[in-house]
């Protein structure tokens, strides 16, 4: 089946450790996005990529890093510099960067203890 897959669904890490969240899509989409979701707030854009080997910072990029070495994959690393990393992380992809439907994964809930 075509779709966008995030793994793992739940992730626990100790404070001060880096952690990488996986996002894979087989929709042949050029654009991919990472959002953070906190209770009572909308989805906030962390990073986005419109083409392989290129990505841009979103509104809350500090403490995060990404790579886009393959069209299908857009992993997100939450570094120890992120002050409040516990959140629900959503990955999305779209056919183009503008004015097209974004398809979301099922999310990864990260808890830092």
Partner 1 sequence: GENVEQHPSTLSVQEGDSAVIKCTYSDSASNYFPWYKQELGKGPQLIIDIRSNVGEKKDQRIAVTLNKTAKHFSLHITETQPEDSAVYFCAGGGNKLVFGAGTILRVKS
Residues that bind partner 1 (CB under 8 A): 6, 33, 35, 40-45, 48, 58-59, 90, 92, 97-107
Indicate the residue among 5 and 80 with the shorter CB distance to partner 1: 5
Cβ 16 to partner 1 shortest distance, Å: 28
Cβ 96 to partner 1 shortest distance, Å: 10
CB 110 within 8 A of CB 22: no
Indicate the residue among 52 and 102 with the shorter CB distance to partner 1: 102
């Amino acid at each position: 089946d075509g779709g966008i897959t995030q793994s793992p669904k739940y992730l626990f890490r100790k404070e001060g450790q880096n952690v990488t969240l996986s996002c894979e899509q087989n929709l042949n989409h050029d654009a991919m996005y990472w959002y953070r979701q906190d209770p009572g707030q909308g989805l906030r854009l962390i990073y986005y990529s419109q083409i392989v080997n290129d990505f841009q910072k979103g509104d809350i990029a500090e403490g995060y890093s990404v790579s886009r070495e393959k069209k299908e994959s857009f992993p997100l690393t939450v570094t120890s510099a992120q002050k409040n990393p516990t959140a629900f992380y959503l990955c999305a992809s779209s056919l183009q960067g503008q004015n097209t439907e974004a398809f979301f994964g099922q999310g990864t809930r990260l808890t830092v203890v």
